[in-house]
């Protein structure tokens, strides 16, 4: 096999693999020595469900090899590890009962799902509006927004307990009496930060908007008030224009097209919107990397080999179907739902790069047509592969040929596919979805994400070296790197366009072209210029409706939402981070990555029977190694309470960022009236001072301070309330790089792959 060093198209790809997908033991020691080990681990785990595992293991490995098929991160990180984790990405929780007991029962289920890292969606339309009478109680209802605040607090609690960041989607119908409060909810900068919000838009509502007709706001058969539909639509548009939320979901269109509309009703989606799901619905994700499949790129006749694409899709469908059986689920209801319908979400990534390689401008009529051709080929291959699986293993349990083929989505499918399904059934009720692929796209060599245009052709990131020095590393888009490899310094052709230079309608056309052959939905952000007029902005949503999209998410940078990464119009590279920004102060605590590097130190206090063990873990912030958390442990139970308190307090300080070296000096200054101890020829006034000395030793080791006694003497954050010189939201809360941008409906770091949506 090829040495692993040549597998990665860019250094950042190997770093993402090591940080997120490489199998490591509890102490952080790698068990996957190479990416080949990771591919083999996943292939073997998914082949294990087959009657003849050996026959499929190599085929699955070949699909994963060279990043051609990219299972979602949960599968890459969890399959074959023996860990009790879910391999599913997306969950929509059960229908919320309109009762106090039912509501909090749902809250418990959400917490259990989020503990395993699942992104969840909820429809809050089922909760009675604010001010409605509560039967048997002398009080009025507090409304769904108040309970959303409870969910938001739960998600924050799960995060603070050390789990990966939670992500939630909240939906509300356009005819719910509290919909106007829902639309305005996130205009309060401190409210519902753990949620994405989307309004469920019905066909009658859109008809009422067109006719400028009145619109009733109704709950449980009672009309609470009547508004003008166009006024309500404009409120949604204005909130989205100013605050980037809420999004819109065309829910009637989703239900009409759903292959399973005879067996379920959908009212919510997962956090990024690509997966509309019924109550307790779950879906796993995976992507075909189109950028790796183009033959003779940038040359005449460059194209994707349809036969190769067909074979890869068929293998990917089988692998993903096996995940349904291999995965664990947070709740039994989720397992039952997944087994009954065997939903999978196979999509693509690298579309924009693939279009560049065949000489097409993203958003052009030719690119739209080519996208339709590729997506149809994927849909056909996926459905026929699922038919073959049904012949071999059986159709999904709720399959009903007549009803299945009558759905809006299946009516557009080719006759030969319909005939095969009618005769043999189909293994998976739904097969295609286009998910956010920010992190796995970096892992695959920085290919363009999902069906998004290339965001930036190149940018620089700072990398901390083992000796404590920092170097700058250029991160180049996959297609651009390939162009440079072939043509050296030859200028990029005019058809190389980026997200910043595209007209919003180009985004809509590409989303609509892909949606024709996607049976679920699409995670896509339509970037709009800051100076777009409100009327033109509204036209984007109207175009999405007119062209058949199932939803629409836009992003317009402004003072409220923050700017995306700005890219020079005259240069391929993004602007450099100010090298003088040595310390980054953050308005919110840092998020905990799944894996951290650190050191454990043994401290033997002379007057104590048991040693104290101090672990300090670090993150990279602004290209600089910085302490993130501390764990202080001892077998001496007399130490238990204060060591736990110290662990929590110091970790809380570390996680907010900035120059936290003052903690060392504060600890070192603590004097114990009972007396200190001599350690290594020095008098240490207290055990707390000794702990401070150990932490200081670590800060020196990682280059955070230059030497003993050189930490700050006071907390600089006491006089700093801003985020340094960086605009709010520009700095990544995980790695500190100024690379946060809106990608596929979610603020995502281009440098490390951190995503606000998990």
H or E segment to which residue 461 belongs: strand 458-464
Point out the residues that are catalytic.
Answer: 270, 272, 274
Instruction: Give backbone dihedrals phi and psi of 295, rounded to 5 degrees, phi first.
Output: -90, 145
- State in Å, rounded, how far the first CA of the chain is from the last one: 34
Pair of tokens at residue 217: 């706001």
Tell me the C-alpha distance between 521 and 285, whole Å: 12
Peptide bond before 329: cis, by omega within 30 degrees of 0?
no
**Cα distance between residue 406 and residue 402, in whole Å:** 6
Q: Which residues, in sequence order, are CB contacts of 662 under 8 Å at separation 6+?
A: 711, 712, 713, 714, 715, 716
Q: What is d(CA 438, CA 146) in angstroms, rounded to the nearest whole number?
A: 33
Helices 229-243 and 203-211: crossing angle, nearest 10°? 100
Residue 228: CB atoms within 10 A of its CB come to 14
Q: Which among 204, 235, 65, 117 is positioned nearest to 594, based on CA atoms?
A: 117
Residue 94 DSSP class: P
Distance CA 122, CA 571 (A): 43
d(CA 154, CA 291): 40
* Other beta carbons within 10 Å of 211: 10
Structure tokens at 582: 């040595």
| DSSP classification of residue 454 | P
Is the separation of the CB atoms in 421 and 399 below 8 Å?
A: no
Residue 170 β-bridge partners: 122, 197
Task: Answer whether 344's CB lies under 8 Å from 318's CB.
Answer: no
């Amino acid at each position: 096999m090829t040495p692993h060093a040549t597998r990665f198209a860019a250094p950042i790809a190997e770093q993402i693999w090591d940080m997120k997908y490489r199998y490591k033991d509890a102490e952080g020691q790698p068990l996957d020595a190479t990416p080949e080990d990771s591919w083999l681990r996943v292939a073997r785990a998914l082949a294990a469900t087959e009657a003849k595992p050996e026959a499929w293991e190599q085929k699955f490995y070949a699909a994963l090899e060279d990043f051609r098929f990219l299972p979602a991160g949960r599968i890459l990180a969890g399959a074959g590890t023996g860990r009790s984790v879910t391999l599913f990405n997306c969950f929509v929780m059960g229908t919320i009962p309109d009762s106090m007991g039912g509501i909090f029962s749902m809250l418990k289920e959400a917490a259990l799902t989020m503990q395993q890292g699942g992104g969840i969606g909820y429809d809050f339309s089922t909760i009675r509006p604010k001010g409605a009478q509560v039967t048997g109680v002398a009080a009025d209802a507090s409304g769904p927004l108040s309970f959303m605040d409870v969910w938001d607090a739960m998600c924050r609690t799960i995060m603070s307990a050390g789990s990966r960041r939670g992500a939630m989607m909240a939906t509300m119908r356009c005819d719910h009496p509290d919909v106007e409060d829902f639309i305005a909810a996130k205009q309060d900068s401190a409210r519902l930060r753990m949620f994405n919000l989307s309004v469920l838009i019905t066909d009658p509502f859109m008809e009422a908007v067109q006719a400028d007709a009145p619109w009733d706001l109704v709950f449980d058969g009672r009309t609470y008030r009547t508004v003008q539909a166009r006024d309500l639509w404009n409120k949604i548009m204005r909130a989205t224009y100013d605050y980037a939320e809420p999004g819109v979901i065309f829910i009637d269109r989703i239900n009409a097209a759903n292959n399973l509309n005879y067996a379920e009703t959908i009212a919510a989606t997962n956090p990024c919107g690509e997966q509309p799901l019924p109550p307790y619905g779950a879906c796993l994700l995976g992507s075909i990397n189109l950028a790796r499949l183009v033959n003779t790129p940038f040359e005449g006749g460059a194209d994707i080999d349809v036969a190769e694409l067909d074979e890869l899709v068929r293998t990917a469908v089988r692998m993903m179907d096996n995940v349904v059986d291999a995965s664990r689920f947070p709740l039994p209801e989720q397992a039952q739902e997944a087994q009954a319908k065997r939903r999978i979400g196979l999509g693509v990534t690298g579309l924009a790069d693939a279009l560049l390689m065949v000489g097409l401008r993203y958003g052009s009529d030719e690119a739209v047509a080519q996208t339709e051709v590729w997506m149809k080929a994927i849909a056909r291959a996926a459905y026929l592969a699922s038919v073959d699986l049904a012949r071999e293993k059986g159709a999904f349990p709720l399959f009903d040929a007549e009803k299945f083929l009558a759905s809006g989505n299946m009516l557009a499918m080719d006759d030969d596919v319909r005939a095969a399904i009618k005769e043999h059934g189909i293994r998976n009720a739904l097969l295609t979805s286009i998910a956010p692929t920010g992190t796995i796209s970096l892992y695959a060599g920085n290919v363009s994400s999902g069906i998004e245009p290339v965001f930036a052709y190149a940018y620089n990131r700072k990398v901390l070296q083992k000796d404590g020095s920092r170097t700058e590393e250029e991160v180049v888009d996959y297609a651009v790197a390939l162009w440079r490899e072939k043509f050296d310094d030859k200028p990029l052709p005019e058809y190389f366009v980026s997200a910043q230079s595209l007209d919003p309608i180009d985004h809509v056309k590409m989303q609509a072209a892909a949606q024709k052959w996607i049976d679920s939905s699409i995670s896509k952000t339509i970037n709009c210029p800051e100076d777009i007029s409100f009327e033109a902005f509204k036209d984007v949503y109207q175009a999405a409706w007119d062209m058949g999209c199932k939803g629409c998410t836009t992003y317009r940078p402004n003072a409220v939402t923050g700017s995306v990464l700005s890219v020079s119009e005259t240069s391929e590279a993004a602007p450099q981070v100010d090298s003088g920004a040595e310390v980054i102060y953050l308005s919110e605590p840092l998020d905990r990555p799944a894996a951290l590097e650190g050191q454990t130190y043994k401290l033997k206090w002379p007057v104590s029977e048991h040693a104290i063990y101090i672990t300090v873990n670090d993150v990279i912030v602004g290209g600089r190694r910085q302490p993130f958390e501390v764990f202080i442990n001892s077998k001496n139970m007399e130490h238990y309470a204060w060591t736990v308190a110290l662990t929590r307090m110091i970790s809380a300080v570390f996680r907010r960022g900035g120059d936290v070296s003052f903690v060392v000096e504060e600890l070192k200054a603590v004097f114990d009236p009972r007396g200190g101890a001599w350690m290594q020829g020095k008098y240490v006034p207290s055990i707390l001072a000794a702990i401070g000395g150990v932490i200081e030793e670590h800060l020196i080791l990682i280059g955070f301070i230059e030497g003993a006694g050189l930490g700050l003497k006071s907390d600089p954050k006491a006089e700093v309330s801003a985020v340094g010189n960086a605009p709010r939201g520009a700095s990544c809360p995980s790695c500190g790089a100024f690379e946060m941008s809106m990608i596929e409906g979610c603020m995502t770091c281009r440098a490390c792959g951190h995503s606000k949506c998990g």
